[in-house]
Structure 1
Amino acid sequence: MPASDPVHKVQSTILAPYGAHESDSRGRMHAEAPASHRGEYRRDRERIIHSTAFRRLEYKTQLFVNHEGDLYRTRLTHSIEVAQVARSIAYRLGLNEPLCEAIALAHDLGHTPFGHAGQDALNRCMQAHGGFEHNLQSLRVVDCLELKYPQFPGLNLTFETREGILKHCSKKNARALGSVGQRFLERTQPSLEAQLANIADEIAYTSHDIDDGLRANLITVSKLREVELFDQHIDAVEHEFPQLGRRQKTYETIRRIRNRLVADLITASQAAIDEARVGSLDEVRAAPGSLIRFSEPMREKNQALKNFLREHLYRHERVHRMNRKAAKVVADLYAAFFRDARLMPDEYRGMANEAAGRDGDSGRARVISDYISGMTDRYAIAEHRRIFNEKIF
């Protein structure tokens, strides 16, 4: 982007030198005229928001199957919360807010129905054909599967947004991805904006899973008091507001936990950035490790909270039963479509046959995984019932 561009002028005054400046962007996969009135990362954000995959997140599980209740988080509400946390922290650290927001909004676009249970089931089905991982699928969605524009496949997002979506990657997959996978081969770091979106995801799901778990009566306040981070904040709330009702007390406690995590992350990250003396995005990439981090005491407290949620919420018998049902739906659908592609809509049947002719069974399997991963919870349940005449949920 030319230095005379108004977006560049604004960024040069508010962004720290180690932030992602659009003038230094590695650009898009397919050349386009610059988005001079809004900036490239804002353009990314708006393309993500208007995508079909983003709308589908409203009906995809975060922790509970979508029809379990209207007030539980979905992948859409989770993504919005991640974007809010990331943007707030980015502002304080002098990072590129629109880029943080774009990464946060896109990070779950490739998630299957039924959350991690659906992902794990689809990965097992795909083991002989390259596996399935939702970060890679999110990149596949924005690079290939969204068909919005006549000039190119996908959303044609900037390198920096695509890099941020790709949190984890094997060396084998990294080699196949080209430049966006290069850092996994060279062991270099992504932008601070990508690092921030990753931890904002953690802050968001930790705090809202407490809320959803309590709302569903899967965990209790008395049990949560075993966790230092929760106990110290609920004690402070009860001391300050002794007449507060149970629900409001819980909300205030969770809000304070989230705010404390955010405040610590800002302070510790700024200290790490200053200590590393990074003055550009290139220097960020060359750093020996992530610079967006909690202080060590907070990291330990947060890890204790995550351990509690894993043991008492994510492994709860009700969640386990629901996950078993979800895995069966995904595995049954995959097996049915692999045996008989005619069970899929015409569009996917045609793509599966074309891919099979080009890449054999692995090509067919990848199209089937695209179809299943794009389903919402209730669409997958309805498809299973249509094919098997069996009520799972």
Structure 2
Amino acid sequence: MNQQRYASNPRHARPRLTEEEESAFRSCYQRDRDRIIHSSAFRRLKHKTQVFVEHEGDYFRTRLTHSIEVAQVARTIAGALGLNAELTEAVALAHDLGHTPFGHTGEDALDRLMAPYGGFDHNAQAIRIVTSLERHYAEFDGLNLTWDTLEGLAKHNGPVIGALPYALEIYNARHDLELGTYASAEAQVAALADDVAYNNHDLHDGLRARLFTEEDIRVLPVVGPCYNAVEDLYPGLDPYRRRHEALRRVFGDMVGDIIETSRARLEAACPETVDDIRNLGQPVIAFSDQMARDVNEIRSFLFSHMYRASKVMEVRDRVTKVVDELFPFYMSNPEHLPQRWQEDVRRAETDSDLARLVSDYIAGMTDRFALESHARLLGGQGGMAEREGV
């Protein structure tokens, strides 16, 4: 499908913060995507988990596999709607860069510890990573991404209003991301692709971990009808194949619903430009009302049966202790931060400056490196860990 007039156009992309000569053979959005893929933070997603601690099993999703799945879904939706798939993919691949070790458990702990110093927010941390903490290029800190990609990272869940998270406030003062408006349709696609991916893979992972059964999820909307359809088509199919066939249909039904609903919204809104989409005052990429209710019911089921399952809660308590003890240790002993962080330590003038460095360092850890660091420095029960240049 040809790109629509309201799609983001790389020829009209807004400037990067630091001006540089563009590539002769890659669009600016392709270049953003490639810089994200080659970043240290992206590689570390391999050992950051969604729900389970990294060493518990090699078949559970990690932040890396999740990001790849989100990018695949997002490209499919963007292509069907005539949007720019390259920008969509860049936002999708970068959206989880700011996550801490141990999933949302680690983020909750770090946000609580950072409360006296401005708090912690993983979306804002992603901005901090791609604009400051990645330090590989000669002419700038960060990845020097286009305004369009940075806007998508900051606003893919909608306008950012009220008090701004620390990292986002600092960068926005230098490079106005127009936080009060909606993001491009491409960024909105990335946000819903995230919902589709994690709901579906958490159903897979929860079944694998035996936190619930197929009988439990067959009462859920969308899921139950998909199981029935598979049994009608393939009576007697072995349980593993039946599960896969049913859950991939759940995936497909959600994606199809987004495409159909969003196409109708775009036709009704008649946007002429990407700025028209930003200023509509409502999202143009969405589930239908019925699918939104169904997705919320699935999410509620996962919350009670998976994210708050006793097995998961036991691990949450253990890894919360890891973060709770690492943070004050590094605050009191910043000399234990890596050598290349010591110049930043020397420049820290206040406790808040030091806390932000410690937060950046811990947030960048993988699950296994956080466990190993805790064991080495504080005598905790860590796991096997590879050395990492965090």
Provide the TM-score with structure 2 as the length reference.
Answer: 0.93
1:178 maps to what in 2? Answer: 173
- 1:392 deviates by 5.7
The unaligned stretches of length 5 or more in structure 2 are 384-390
Counterpart among 5, 8, 13 of residue 25 in structure 1: 13
For 1:47-58, list aligned pairs within 5 A.
47-58=35-46
2:387 maps to what in 1? Answer: none
> Would you say how many aligned residue pairs link Structure 1 and Structure 2?
376
The DSSP-based 3-state class of the residue aligned with 1:61 is coil
1:373 maps to what in 2? Answer: 363
**d(CA) in 2 for partners of 1:57, 1:152:** 23
- Aligned AA (2:221): E
The DSSP-based 3-state class of the residue aligned with 2:325 is helix
- 1:234 deviates by 0.5
CA contact (8 A) 2:75 2:85 kept: yes
CA contact (8 A) 1:329 1:381 kept: yes
Asked if residue 118 in structure 1 is aligned to residue 106 in structure 2, the reply is: yes
**d(CA) in 2 for partners of 1:102, 1:314:** 28
Counterpart among 30, 37, 40 of residue 25 in structure 2: 37
- Aligned AA (2:375): R
**d(CA) in 1 for partners of 2:175, 2:215:** 46
- 1:58 deviates by 0.2
CA contact (8 A) 1:238 1:244 kept: yes
**d(CA) in 2 for partners of 1:342, 1:179:** 31
The DSSP-based 3-state class of the residue aligned with 1:171 is coil
2:373 maps to what in 1? Answer: 383
The DSSP-based 3-state class of the residue aligned with 1:385 is helix
- Aligned AA (1:196): V
Provide the TM-score with structure 1 as the length reference.
Answer: 0.93
Over the aligned positions, Cα root-mean-square deviation in angstroms equals 1.5
- 1:349 deviates by 3.5
- 1:342 deviates by 1.8
**Alpha carbons of 1:24 and 1:50: their partners in 2 closer, same or farther (altered >3 Å)?**
same
CA contact (8 A) 1:175 1:181 kept: no
**d(CA) in 2 for partners of 1:38, 1:24:** 14
- 1:175 deviates by 4.8
1:274 maps to what in 2? Answer: 267
- 1:170 deviates by 5.1
Q: Which has a greater percent of helix?
A: 1
- 1:343 deviates by 2.2
- Aligned AA (2:86): P
2:64 maps to what in 1? Answer: 76
CA contact (8 A) 1:234 1:253 kept: yes
CA contact (8 A) 2:373 2:382 kept: no
- Aligned AA (1:390): G
CA contact (8 A) 1:104 1:197 kept: yes
Instruction: Encode CA deviations 1:21-62: one digit per residue, 9 max, x unaligned.
Output: 112211201001122311000000001111111110000011
**Alpha carbons of 1:302 and 1:180: their partners in 2 closer, same or farther (altered >3 Å)?**
farther
**d(CA) in 1 for partners of 2:115, 2:162:** 16
Asked if residue 196 in structure 1 is aligned to residue 186 in structure 2, the reply is: no
- 1:296 deviates by 0.9
CA contact (8 A) 2:372 2:382 kept: no
**Larger deviation, residues 22-31 vs 376-385:** 22-31
2:213 maps to what in 1? Answer: 220
Counterpart among 343, 352, 364 of residue 362 in structure 1: 352
- 1:243 deviates by 1.7
**d(CA) in 2 for partners of 1:246, 1:365:** 50
**d(CA) in 2 for partners of 1:181, 1:257:** 39
**d(CA) in 2 for partners of 1:289, 1:217:** 40
**d(CA) in 1 for partners of 2:332, 2:342:** 12
- 1:94 deviates by 0.4
**Alpha carbons of 1:295 and 1:181: their partners in 2 closer, same or farther (altered >3 Å)?**
farther
The DSSP-based 3-state class of the residue aligned with 1:209 is helix
**d(CA) in 2 for partners of 1:389, 1:303:** 42
2:85 maps to what in 1? Answer: 97
- Aligned AA (1:207): N
Asked if residue 292 in structure 1 is aligned to residue 285 in structure 2, the reply is: yes
- 1:245 deviates by 1.2
1:4 maps to what in 2? Answer: none
Asked if residue 144 in structure 1 is aligned to residue 132 in structure 2, the reply is: yes
**d(CA) in 2 for partners of 1:14, 1:179:** 35
The DSSP-based 3-state class of the residue aligned with 2:163 is helix
**d(CA) in 1 for partners of 2:117, 2:237:** 55
- 1:181 deviates by 5.8
**Larger deviation, residues 196-205 vs 236-245:** 236-245
- Aligned AA (1:183): E
**d(CA) in 2 for partners of 1:170, 1:296:** 25
**d(CA) in 2 for partners of 1:116, 1:134:** 9
